[in-house]
């Protein structure tokens, strides 16, 4: 089953546009687990168990594992998600981007080693750095397009002098991704929730590409504006929340608290689409 | 000692502008090691031992380790380089790029876990994604600027409509890196060897930033043109060769063969600066 199909199926099955981001920070772990990097798997698995019927995807962010020498715990977590939530696709948030031969290694890391269903990539080095990932026909490949951090303006908002109509870089990227690079139907785009007008613009340019939208919750994006800007009959969205769910409580009730926040967020997103 | 000082010292000490890139591919390993991912450390350590007096830096590319679950071998290799070649700085080629909290984790991965002296980053998400790396005052931070692959044209060559003079993106990036972002003296830039005219342009815009120049050897860049375009009294260059050195022979003599190619390449680079 392709990532796109898997995503559509999980979205329908769980009536959810919510993706829970797994960004484990041991310093924020509850109770006796606080500061213990050996509990990364236990913490993330508890979050997965508590929210798996409420989400359309999970998104582990690989830096949080790599910083703690916890690749083995990430492997274990990926296997756990496949076991307890086989219907939920997993997006490995890695933002890799490198030339062909190196990109092949990164694709192997994401899709063979970690068995991710999709991966995030940086498009800075251009189209040929994306292609080795497309060789895995069932997998999704989600390109950074318009990011929600302040520095997102530095390049993504630049207007391109030599492209007809002088679009902004993120607009031209959305255009290329939709009309030229997406020959295999595997591409999606990352667009930050803090810029609803730009979500709408990307949706207009790329009507059918799935949009991964981080920044709802701790980063301050508005759930209703996000859904209205990005979701259409032809184009789905995956709205990510990480910290607001993971660290809803620092006590023993952290998993229950995470479930409550995930449920609230899912319901807010659903309210906005009706 | 800062990365810049370390690099200048190793360049002088070994009379070398050459960086050997460590991109281990088990399928290309010699003799009985062929195909054996458990030999990644042994292979790379042999290359390091054979070339350590000929280089100004080593550059392990992390994807080649991650694809084979070989992070432990990368840690072992970093420790080995520190032990046998304490004067040679190590650039971890990772091309990371993410928002502040995630960037902090990647900085920890590169500088704390792997004890790299410098790291390569993608600037696509902008200045604030670079800053967490600059918090490690002794470390170097080398930004992708103009890459040597075909897709390097997709964004890096675009002229920016709203910036005075409508520079190309890579030119504006070199300008910002040199005149605004480099407040701590830690930055460098990646510029591909396949475009000597663009190396010269980057050197003109950023007279003092160290330039990491991949693409000499297997990728076809010309050593002489590279040196003439990039090296000045005020601005050093680090010229990387990976495959041409690593896989100079597929026989038992691979380390000797690697040394011969490294020596030739070093001498070619030195001939060009005289």
pLDDT higher than 80, residue B218: no
Q: For residue A147, which residues of chain B lie inside 8 Å, CB to CB?
A: 99, 125-126
And the tokens for A82? 């496949």
Tens-place pLDDT, residues B1-50: 999 999 999 999 999 999 999 999 999 999 999 999 999 999 999 999 99
Give the span between the Cα atoms of B91 and B57, in whole angstroms: 7
DSSP state of B185: S
pLDDT higher than 80, residue A258: yes
Judged by CB atoms closer than 8 Å, whether chains meet at B105 and A67 is answered as: yes
Identify the band that residue B104 occupies on the pLDDT scale cut at 50, 70 and 90. very high
Identify the band that residue B223 occupies on the pLDDT scale cut at 50, 70 and 90. confident
Tens-place pLDDT, residues A169-208: 999 999 999 999 999 999 999 999 888 999 999 999 999 9
Q: For residue A92, which residues of chain B lie inside 8 Å, CB to CB?
A: none
β-sheet with A57-60: strand ranges across: A57-60, A18-22, A237-241, A211-213, A187-191, A140-146, A118-121, A91-96
Judged by CB atoms closer than 8 Å, whether chains meet at B155 and A159 is answered as: no
Q: For residue A148, which residues of chain B lie inside 8 Å, CB to CB?
A: 99
Complex ipTM > 0.95: yes
Q: Which domains does chain B have, with CATH numbers?
A: 3-273 (3.20.20.70)
Judged by CB atoms closer than 8 Å, whether chains meet at B149 and A128 is answered as: yes
- Select from A130, A78, A138 the least CA-distant residue to A106: A130
Give the span between the Cα atoms of A157 and B157, in whole angstroms: 16
pLDDT number for residue B216 = 81
Give the span between the Cα atoms of A78 and A90, in whole angstroms: 8
- A62-86: average pLDDT: 98
CA distance A171 to chain B (A): 12
First to last CA, chain A: 29
Tens-place pLDDT, residues B54-92: 999 999 999 999 999 999 999 999 999 999 999 999 999
Q: How far is CA B265 from CA A82, B216, B220, B242, B272, in A?
A: 49, 9, 13, 11, 11
Query: How many residues belong to chain A?
Result: 274
CB atoms within 10 A of CB A32: 9
And the tokens for B2? 């800062």
Residues 6+ apart with CB under 8 A from A32: none
pLDDT number for residue B142 = 98
Best residue in A93, A112, A149, A164 for a mutation probing chain B (most B CBs within 10 Å): A149
pLDDT number for residue A216 = 81
Best residue in B98, B157, B159 for a mutation probing chain A (most A CBs within 10 Å): B98
pLDDT number for residue B219 = 61
User: How many interchain CB pairs under 8 A, A with B?
Assistant: 171
8 A C-beta contact, residue A237 and residue A17 = yes
CB atoms within 10 A of CB B177: 24
pLDDT number for residue B215 = 80
Q: Nearest residue on chain A to B215, judged by CA atoms? A: A99
Judged by CB atoms closer than 8 Å, whether chains meet at B67 and A113 is answered as: yes
The active-site residue out of A59, A95, A139, A228 is A95
Q: Nearest residue on chain B to A190, judged by CA atoms? A: B125
Q: For residue A26, which residues of chain B lie inside 8 Å, CB to CB?
A: none
pTM (2 decimals)? 0.97
pLDDT number for residue A48 = 99
pLDDT number for residue A11 = 98
Q: Which residue has the tokens 């970690």?
A: A114
Give the span between the Cα atoms of B102 and A65, in whole angstroms: 11
pLDDT number for residue A136 = 98
CA distance A122 to chain B (A): 7
- Tell me, rounded to whole angstroms, the distance of Cα A30 from its chain centroid: 25
Tens-place pLDDT, residues B235-252: 999 999 999 999 999 999
pLDDT number for residue A64 = 98
pLDDT number for residue A220 = 62
Extended strands (E) in B122-256 = 140-146, 187-191, 211-213, 237-241
Q: For residue B66, which residues of chain A lie inside 8 Å, CB to CB?
A: 71, 105-106, 109, 113
- A235-248: average pLDDT: 97
pLDDT higher than 80, residue B220: no
- A141-162: average pLDDT: 96
């Amino acid at each position: 089953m392709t990532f796109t199909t898997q995503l559509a199926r999980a979205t329908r099955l769980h009536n959810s546009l919510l993706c829970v981001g797994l960004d484990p920070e041991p310093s924020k772990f509850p109770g006796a687990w606080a500061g213990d990097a050996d509990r990364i798997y236990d913490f993330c698995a508890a979050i997965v168990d508590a929210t798996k019927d409420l989400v359309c995807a999970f998104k582990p962010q690989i830096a949080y594992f790599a910083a703690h020498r916890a690749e083995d715990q990430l492997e274990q977590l990926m296997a756990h998600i496949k076991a307890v939530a086989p219907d939920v696709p997993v997006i490995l948030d890695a933002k890799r981007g490198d030339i062909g031969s190196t990109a092949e290694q990164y694709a192997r890391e994401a899709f063979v080693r970690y068995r991710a269903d999709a991966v995030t990539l940086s498009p800075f080095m251009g189209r040929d750095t994306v292609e080795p990932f497309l060789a895995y026909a069932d997998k999704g490949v989600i390109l950074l397009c318009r990011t929600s951090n302040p520095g997102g303006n530095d390049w993504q908002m630049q207007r391109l002098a030599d492209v007809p109509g002088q679009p902004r870089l993120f607009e031209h990227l959305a255009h290329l991704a939709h009309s030229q690079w997406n020959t295999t139907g595997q591409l999606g785009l990352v667009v930050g929730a803090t810029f609803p007008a730009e979500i709408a613009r990307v949706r207009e340019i790329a009507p059918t590409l799935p949009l991964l939208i981080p920044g709802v919750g701790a980063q301050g994006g508005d759930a209703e504006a996000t859904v209205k800007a990005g979701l259409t009959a032809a184009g789905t969205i995956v709205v990510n929340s990480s910290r607001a769910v993971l660290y809803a409580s620092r006590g023993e009730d952290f998993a229950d608290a995470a479930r409550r926040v995930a449920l609230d967020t899912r319901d807010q997103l659903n309210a906005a689409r009706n």
